[in-house]
Structure 1
Amino acid sequence: MRFLSRRLVMPNDLNYANSLFGGRALEWIDEEAAIYAICQLETNCLVTKHIGAISFESAAMQGDVVEFGLETKKVGNTSITITCLVRNKITKKTICLADDIVFVKVDPQSRKPVPHGKTLEQLVKQTEVEFNKLKV
């Protein structure tokens, strides 16, 4: 799993108990996973189809830096399934795990599912090439 993005927990992200509001965490997860899927499939004509099990493990407090680990779990004909782990950047303690986040490529006009033309093997190779470029 690669940790690709970070956010700072701000006062407007907090719930009544002064910790990160679960709804805000889910909003961030959907956005981060969508960006990841868009980059993987090289299209922004995607919709969130499903978010499976979500497990909150620990609290994030104001001022904490949280990071998002994303990984492709499965690739279908029109879909991509992603796992997202949210953790505290400093302590590495898991805040939340969202599993089975499914995005589907759709036709921009009809909004019907269309094939994206990618395989899991292609995406693994593509990701390795991109990360190797970053190391230089």
Structure 2
Amino acid sequence: MRFLSRRLVMPSDLNYANGLFGGRALQWIDEEAAIYAICQLETNCLVTKHIGEISFESPAGKGDIVEFGLATKRVGTSSITVSCLVRNKATKTTICFADDIVFVAVDPVSRQPVPHGKTQEMLVEQTAQELASLNI
């Protein structure tokens, strides 16, 4: 799992108990997972079809930095399924885990599913090339 993005928990992100509001966490997960899928499939014509199990493990508070780890689980003809782990940057404590987030490539006009032309193997190679180009 690669941790690709971070967010600062602001006062407007908190619930009545001064913890990160679950709805805000879900909004961030959907956005971060969509960005990941868009980069993997190299198309921004994607829609969220399904979000499977979501498990909230620990709270995040005001001022915490949370990071999003994403991984590809499966690649279909028109879909990609990813997992997202949200954790506290400083403590590495899991805040929540969202599994089986499915995005489907769609035609921009008809909004019907279309093949994206990628395979799991192609995405593994693409990621390796991206990491190599970073010179890390």
Rounded to whole Å, the distance in 2 between the matches of 1:133 and 1:96 is 31
Q: When the two structures are aligned, how many residues end up with a matched partner? A: 136
Displacement of 1:3: 0.1
SS in 2 for 1:19: coil
Which structure 1 residue ranges, 5 or more long, are not aligned? none
- What residue in structure 2 maps to residue 24 of structure 1? 24
**Partner of residue 10, structure 2:** 10
C-alpha separation between the residues in 2 aligned to 1:118 and 1:53? Answer: 25
Correspondence 1:85-104 to 2 at 5 A: 85-104=85-104
Paired amino acid for 1:26: L
Helix, strand or coil: the match of 2:32? helix
Q: Tell me the equivalent position of 2:59.
A: 59
Paired with 1:132 and 1:85, the residues of 2 have a C-alpha distance of 24
Which blocks of at least 5 consecutive residues in structure 2 are unaligned?
none
**Which residue of structure 1 aligns with residue 50 of structure 2?**
50
SS of 2:134's equivalent in the other structure is: helix
- The answer for the alignment partner of 2:77 in structure 1 is 77
Structure 1 position 89, deviation (Å): 0.3
TM-score, normalised via structure 1 length: 0.99
Distance 2:116 2:76 in 1: 9
Distance 1:27 1:48 in 2: 12
Mapping 1:124-135, distance limit 5 Å: 124-135=124-135
1:135 is displaced (CA, Å) by: 2.3
Map Cα deviations across residues 30-58 of structure 1 (whole Å, 9 max, x no partner). 00000000000000000000000000000
Aligned equivalents of 1:11, 1:80: Cα separation in 2: 34
C-alpha distance in structure 1 between counterparts of 2:108 and 2:65, whole Å:
36
Post-superposition shift, 1:133? 1.1
What are the residue-to-residue correspondences of 1:109-128 with 2, within 5 Å?
A: 109-128=109-128
| 2:60 alignment partner, SS class | coil
Q: Which runs of 4+ in 1 moved over 6 A?
A: none
User: Which amino acid letter does the alignment assign opposite residue 2 of structure 1?
Assistant: R
Determine the C-alpha separation between the residues in 2 that align with 1:16 and 1:128: 43
